Structure 1
């Protein structure tokens, strides 16, 4: 079973795997709560898949100045 979009394609958009996973998880929760996404013709059957498609289509990005702060 091949997962789409591939990690290689996604890493051309967001270089860090940690950031990619964190962003996709947070966005997937938002999609689940609101039932709204930004993909015109989604291929994914899951909320995480939809979030990854948004990242691949550059509808979801990370601010390059973003820094994690431990509280």
Structure 2
């Protein structure tokens, strides 16, 4: 079973796996309460998956 989006594609956007996990978890908690996904028609039904899709679509990022 392949998860979408792939970790390789995500690490092209955010290098650190730790940062990737932390950012997506925080965003998932935010979406759970606010119910506002920045990606139209997300493939994932779960909030963490939606947050990862936002990262891949460059709607969610980390300032360095």
Tell me, yes or no, whether TM beats 0.5: yes
Number of aligned residues: 64
RMSD: 0.4
Q: Shift in Å at residue 2 of structure 1? A: 0.7
- Structure number with higher helix proportion: 2
1:49 maps to 49
**TM-score with structure 2 setting the length:** 0.98
Higher relative contact order (CA 8 A, sep 6+): 2
Runs of at least 4 residues of structure 1 off by over 4 A? none
